[in-house]
Amino acid sequence: MNQFELSNKVAIVTGGGGTSHGIGAAVAITLAKAGARVVVVGRNRNSLDKVVKMIKGMGRDAVSIVADVTDPSQVDRLILQASDVFGSIDILVNNAGEISFGNPEDLSYQEWCDCMSLNLNGTFLCSVAASREMIKQGGGKIVNIGSSSGIKGEENAAHFAASKAAVINLTRSLAISWSVHNINVNCVSPGSIEVPEQGVPGMPEEEKNRRQQLQSAEVNSLALPGKPQDIANAVVFFASSGSDIMTGENLVVRGSEWASAYA
């Protein structure tokens, strides 16, 4: 048994249908490959069931639960159902989130609130609800998905960057609070992730072009946008006993993208 194996663990992945970059689906599938039974959570039944089918096709176990993570009562129901299905909750991956683009001066207050609601409130609600189960069980692992935008700021997505900065900070506070309960809380922050052919909803044409141009450049893989698999691998690390002493950390997964700031 190696230190990254997740046999007999039960993992919840929110945003597991992976409709934008496909990080959630990659996380769910990779956790399953590592041995976990996976509860795939999202708003769209069809996309969830596609991921569940893929996992079952690998001979692993998964179920889908439709829930809106911004609604406290739905989150409570989700946690109850999830612990009912597989008997425990060992891992929670707070991946549900979305990005939209626009100049801050053009941003509506509603857009700001929607962004905070999904990226930050959803993470908070799921963490707190899952922690109650984990405390009863004697411990668990929570992995949040942040963003490099949450550290460096973002020119055309201030609301998104602020929500992810809050997620990174929430990670640290929850880690301090729950260290006595044996709950590790860590964060994985992706940089640019490669754009699937069909594009990402709401992404401006110029941003899509920039990434697709970069994707086809003849440079080493560190200089390319990341793949959903890169994020999924880091999530497995933080979900596994290989990171048993780590808590409150934020691992940024963005290749050498940051190096362009020093051009």
Partner 1 sequence: MTFELEAFSLKDKIAIVTGGGSGIGEEISKAYARAGAHVVVAARQQDRLDRVAEEIRGLGRDSLAVSTDVTEPDQIDRLMDKTIEKFGRLDIMVANSGGAGGFDLDKASLPEWQRQIKLNLDSAFLCDVAAGKVMIGQGTGGKIINISSTAGINLNPALPAYAAAKAGMINFTKTLALIYARGNHPINVNCVAPGFTSTPGIRKAGHVPPNIRKDGTRVPPLLMPNEPHHVADACVFLASEAASHVTGELMVIRGMMHMERSDDVTRDRAYLVK
- The residue ranges that bind partner 1 (CB under 8 A) are 1-5, 7-8, 30, 33-35, 58, 60, 175-176, 179-182, 184, 219-223, 226-227, 229-230, 233-234, 236-237, 241-256, 258-259, 262
User: Smallest distance from the beta carbon of 241 to partner 1, in angstroms?
Assistant: 8
Please give the structure tokens belonging to residue 227.
Answer: 């793949």
Scanning the structure block, which residue is given the tokens 């993992």?
11
**Dihedral (CA of 57, 32, 89, 252) sign:** negative
User: Smallest distance from the beta carbon of 5 to partner 1, in angstroms?
Assistant: 4
CB nearer to partner 1: give 110 or 216: 216
User: Smallest distance from the beta carbon of 76 to partner 1, in angstroms?
Assistant: 26
User: Smallest distance from the beta carbon of 176 to partner 1, in angstroms?
Assistant: 6
Q: Residue 155 in 3-state DSSP?
A: coil
Of 13, 23, 5, the residue nearest 147 (C-alpha): 23
CB nearer to partner 1: give 80 or 176: 176
Query: Rounded to an integer, what is the distance from CA 31 to the centroid of its chain?
Result: 12
CB nearer to partner 1: give 163 or 243: 243
User: Smallest distance from the beta carbon of 95 to partner 1, in angstroms?
Assistant: 17
User: What is the C-alpha to C-alpha distance for residues 116 and 110, in angstroms, rounded to an integer?
Assistant: 10
Q: Say which residues have a Cβ less than 8 Å from residue 259's Cβ, sequence separation at least 6.
A: none
CB nearer to partner 1: give 69 or 231: 231
CB nearer to partner 1: give 122 or 226: 226
CB atoms within 10 A of CB 127: 22
